[in-house]
């Protein structure tokens, strides 16, 4: 039974995840992952095989890299989040669902974020 009440938006954005609550640092220097989708209350991330799997109930900080307008400083959406589900897949790219708590927008250190040209090309488009 699907208990979700909020609409999902398929969006693939670079995210950085670190254990615990956000520090006062300029950026989250945790593992780099890719989002699958977002809702008002949650984020679903594609977990990589080389990144330690969190436990359900773990509190984490998720920084979502936001698109940057020309001439603007890079920004990230910083979320205090809790792991609420883990979907194990055969291809080792498990999906981890987070419940979003507090959100704030922070300056993103460009040295921490991926060069988007190095990411794999999308295989499908969002209409």
Per-domain residue ranges of the chain? 9-110
pTM, two decimal places? 0.76
CATH of 9-110, one of 2.30.110.10, 3.40.50.11260, 3.40.640.10, 2.70.70.10: 2.30.110.10
Q: Is the pLDDT of residue 98 over 60?
A: yes
Q: What is the structure's pLDDT at 107?
A: 87
Long-range pairs for 36-41: beta carbons < 8 A, 24 or more residues apart: 36/10, 36/12, 36/95, 37/8, 37/9, 37/10, 37/11, 38/8, 38/9, 38/11, 39/4, 39/6, 39/7, 39/8, 39/9, 40/6, 40/7, 41/6, 41/99, 41/100
pLDDT digits (tens, 9 = 90+) for 14-62: 898 888 765 533 445 567 888 999 998 999 999 988 888 899 999 999 9
pLDDT digits (tens, 9 = 90+) for 48-57: 888 888 999 9
pLDDT digits (tens, 9 = 90+) for 74-90: 888 999 999 999 998 88
For residue 51, what pLDDT is reported?
85
């Amino acid at each position: 039974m699907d208990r979700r009440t909020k609409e999902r938006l398929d969006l693939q954005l670079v995210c950085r995840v670190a254990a615990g609550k956000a520090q006062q640092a300029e950026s989250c220097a945790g593992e780099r992952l890719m989002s699958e989708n977002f809702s008002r209350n949650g984020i679903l991330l594609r977990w990589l095989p080389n990144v330690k799997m969190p436990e359900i109930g773990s509190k984490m900080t998720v920084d979502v890299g936001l698109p940057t307008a020309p001439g603007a400083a890079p920004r990230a959406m910083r979320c205090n989040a809790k792991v609420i589900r883990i979907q194990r897949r055969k291809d080792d790219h498990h999906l981890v669902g987070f419940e979003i708590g507090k959100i704030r927008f922070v300056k993103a250190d460009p040295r921490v974020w991926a060069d988007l040209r190095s990411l794999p090309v999308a295989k499908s488009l969002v209409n």
